[in-house]
């Protein structure tokens, strides 16, 4: 199949100011007092979070806590009903779409395509924002590096629609990496992956942060968040319940309350990284006596 060069299909857009790399610790994006309403429901209520270069920030919390909504707000894909969002020191809504795409790359939960593009060309789509700029010359190298990082080279020629769910997820991540934006916003990138590839994806996130990017990732696996994130923001019912290093934030009382499920938190025997597991009785062992807190947490 003939390779599609997206730069040749798009209008030339010279003269735009290209982004410069952020310095470690520099504020890349932030939300201040953000409120999002959907019908009668308040999804985010006064949320504030800072995203800094050189850091992996994990957004965690139970289903419906507002994690994906906050990610969409930080990406400027969703305008809040109140509050302020800034990307690259500028109000998110003030960026033209083309210039915003040079500065942030977004991985949604679901990756779907209507046409049977080969996986390699799906990755190349990530280079579209750079068409007509001086960095268009990086296209081939950026695509190759992204596919190598995600271990997707072996099925570059296969139709995207013919891939397994996990393979599609990795190709979608490769597209985001090929974009080479300084802010990566990833919504549940490990959800469809096996143990090995979950670790691979979070390793890539760490590498991008160590190279100077800011990475925000929505995760359900608290073990992955504890092992790979510099900071975690715990969302609960549309608010930030805690924000800080996993070793400081992941406590039994907080997580049990937020998840409405008693949990045990203990250090990994070799690394000391917090391990979070549901409190449960093992077969052949009597359940411990429940406390009033335990009973309140298990109520619907």
d(CA 125, CA 110): 16
Q: Over 50: is that where the pLDDT of 284 sits?
A: yes
Question: Between 3.40.50.300, 3.90.110.10, 3.40.640.10, 3.30.365.10, what CATH number should domain 23-103+181-259 receive?
Answer: 3.40.50.300
> How far apart are alpha carbons 65 and 73 in whole angstroms?
14
Predicted confidence at residue 166, as pLDDT, reads: 94
What secondary structure does DSSP assign to the chain, as a single string? -PPP-HHHHS---TTPPPP-PPPTT-EEEEEEEEEEEETTEEEEEEEEEEEETTEEEEEE-STTSSHHHHHHHHTTSS--SEEEEEETTEEGGGS-HHHHHTTEEEE-S----SS--BHHHHHHGGGGGGTTSGGGGGHHHHHHHHHHHTT-GGGTTSBGGGS-HHHHHHHHHHHHHHH--SEEEEESTTTT--HHHHHHHHHHHHHHHHTT-EEEEE-S-HHHHHHH-SEEEEEETTEEEEEE-HHHH--HHHHHHHHTS-EEEEE-TTT--EEEEE--PPTTSPPPPPPHHHHHHT--
Q: What is the mean pLDDT of the chain?
A: 90
Query: What confidence tens digit (pLDDT) does each residue in 140-175 have?
Result: 999 999 999 999 999 999 999 999 999 999 999 999
Give residue 293's pLDDT: 52
* pLDDT higher than 70, residue 296: no
Task: Assess whether pLDDT exceeds 70 at residue 14.
Answer: no
* pLDDT tens digit sequence for 71-119: 999 999 999 999 999 999 999 999 999 999 999 999 998 877 767 899 9
Q: Which of 26, 22, 55, 18 lies closest to 208 in space, CA to CA?
A: 55
Chain-centroid distance of CA 128 in Å reads: 21
**Residue listed under structure tokens 């979950």:** 198
Task: Write a three-state SS string for 127-171.
Answer: HHHHCCCHHHHHHHHHHHHHHHHCCCHHHCCCEHHHCCHHHHHHH
**Token digits for 262?**
């008693």
Over the stretch 167-201, which tens digit does the pLDDT of each residue have?
999 999 999 999 999 999 999 999 999 999 999 99
**Does residue 292 have a pLDDT over 60?**
no
Cα–Cα dist 139/5, whole Å: 9
pLDDT reading at 9 higher than 50 = no
For 216-238, the pLDDT digits (tens) are 999 999 999 999 999 999 999 99
Give the residue extent of every domain in the chain.
Answer: 23-103+181-259, 119-180
Per cent of the chain over pLDDT 90 is 84
Question: What is the structure's pLDDT at 226?
Answer: 97
Task: Note the pLDDT of residue 16.
Answer: 72
């Amino acid at each position: 199949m003939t390779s599609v060069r997206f730069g040749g299909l798009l209008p030339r857009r010279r003269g735009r100011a290209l982004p410069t790399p952020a310095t470690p610790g520099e504020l890349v994006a932030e939300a201040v007092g953000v409120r999002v309403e959907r019908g009668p429901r308040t999804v985010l209520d006064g949320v504030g979070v800072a995203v800094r270069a050189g850091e992996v920030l994990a957004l965690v919390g139970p289903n419906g806590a507002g994690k994906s909504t906050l990610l969409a707000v930080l990406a400027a894909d969703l305008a809040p009903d109140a509050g302020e969002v800034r990307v690259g020191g500028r109000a998110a809504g003030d960026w033209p779409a083309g210039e915003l795409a040079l500065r942030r790359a977004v991985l949604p939960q679901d990756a779907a395509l209507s046409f049977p593009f080969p996986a390699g060309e799906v990755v190349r789509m990530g280079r579209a924002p750079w068409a007509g700029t001086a960095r268009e010359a990086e296209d081939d190298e950026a695509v190759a590096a992204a596919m190598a990082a995600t271990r997707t080279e072996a099925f570059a020629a296969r139709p995207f629609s013919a891939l397994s769910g996990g393979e599609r997820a990795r190709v979608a991540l490769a597209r985001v990496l090929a974009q080479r934006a300084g802010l990566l916003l990833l919504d549940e990138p490990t959800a469809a992956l096996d143990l090995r590839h979950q670790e691979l994806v979070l390793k890539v996130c760490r590498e991008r942060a160590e190279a100077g990017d800011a990475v925000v990732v929505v995760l359900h696996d608290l073990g992955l968040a504890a092992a790979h994130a510099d900071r975690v923001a715990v969302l609960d019912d549309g608010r930030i319940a805690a924000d800080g290093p996993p070793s400081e934030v992941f406590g039994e009382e907080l997580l049990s309350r937020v998840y409405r499920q008693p949990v045990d938190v203990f250090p990994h025997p070799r690394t000391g990284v917090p391990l979070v597991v549901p409190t449960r009785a093992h077969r052949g062992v009597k359940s411990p006596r429940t406390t009033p807190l335990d009973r309140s947490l298990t109520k619907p």
